[in-house]
Amino acid sequence: MSPISHGFHRRHTVPDGAADRVPPGQYVTDGFPVLSAGPTPHTPLTEWTFSIRQGSSTVKSWTWQELQQLPAETATVDIHCVTRWSKLDTEWRGVSVDTLLDQVEHDAGYIMAFSDGGYTTNLPLADVTGGKAWVAFSFAGAPLEPEHGGPARLLVPHLYFWKSAKWVRGLELMDEDRPGFWETYGYNMYGDPWKEQRYQGD
């Protein structure tokens, strides 16, 4: 049993009136921690594309310019990282995943988001549609910085933030669920912060 460090406490606790916005085991931060599994990629926008893939084929793809021409939305959401920090009222701008998937005919039940640098994360289709997810390129009114996933990241705020893949480059349509990067190493396939689904078996 670890000795208690008397007087030590987590940096931030739940602000007044926000208790029902903070999932169990989380603390609210004013900052925006930068946590990664690898180096920050720097794909030039002239080379950047976002693709929908099925198997080995690309069924639909957008260049950066084409993405910018799609209708974009502003979303103000709370985000929750599995490492226990939460950030309230974060403001993003991006294209809804619905807008992208609406242009593709499919009957997939799951997707695997894939990113520059090789990161992947899996999600049920139902959790990236119906207004629940975006390909976000702007944060707090400014272009998304590379260290936070820019030029664009997936944003799926109702699940733990490892599902909001930084440097996202596309979605692979899948019939069955398959674990992505962190899921392979023991993290939960779904990741609902309100049920504290951090690890497999939670």
Partner 1 sequence: MDELDGNGAAGLLQEIFGTDMTIAVATCASCGSAAQIGESVLYAGGPGTVIRCRRCEGVLVVITQVRGRHCVDLMGIRALDMPVGSA
Partner 2 sequence: MEGTAVPRRLSSGPLSWEVATVTEVTSETPTVRTIKLGVPSWPGHRAGQHLDVRLTAEDGYSAERSYSIAAAADDPVAITVERLDDGEVSPYLTEDVRVGDELEIRGPVGGYFVWETADGGPLLLVGGGSGIVPLRAILRQREHSGSDVPVKLLYSARTLSDLIYRDELDSYHDGVEIIYTLTREQPAGWTGYTRRVDQALLAETAWPAGKDPLAFVCGPTSFVETVAGGLVALGYEPGRIKTERFGGTGGS
Question: Amino acid letter at 43?
Answer: T
In the complex with partner 2, which residue's Cβ is closer, 4 or 142?
4
Q: Which is nearer to partner 1, 7 or 201 (CB)?
A: 201
- Asked whether position 3 contacts partner 1 by CB under 8 A, the answer is no
**In 131-202, alpha helices (H):** 181-184
Site for partner 2 in 73-132 (CB under 8 A): 84
Q: Is 36 in the site for partner 1 (CB under 8 A)?
A: yes
- Determine contact, residues 137/91, Cβ cutoff 8 Å: no
Q: Check residue 11 for interaction with partner 1 (CB under 8 A).
A: no
For partner 1, give the closer residue by CB, 157 or 191.
191
Q: Which stretch binds partner 1 (CB under 8 A): 20-28, 43-51, 94-102, 193-201?
A: 193-201
Residue at token pair 């593709």: 104
First-residue to last-residue Cα distance in the chain: 23
Nearest to 170 by CA among 101, 76, 69: 101
Kindly determine how many residues on this chain lie close enough to bind partner 1 according to the rule CB under 8 A: 21
Residue 143 in contact with partner 1, rule: CB under 8 A: no
Query: Least Å distance between CB 6 and partner 2?
Result: 7
Q: Are 185 and 76 in contact (CB under 8 A)?
A: no
The H or E element that residue 101 is part of is helix 97-101
Q: How far is the CB of 199 from partner 1 (least distance, A)?
A: 5
Q: Closest CB to partner 1 among 77 and 82? A: 82
38 binds partner 1 (CB under 8 A): yes
Nearest-CA neighbor of 168 among 82, 64, 35? 64
- Give which of 117, 130, 111 is closest to 167, Cα–Cα: 117
List residues near partner 1 by CB under 8 A: 33-39, 82-83, 117-118, 147, 162, 182, 184-187, 199-201
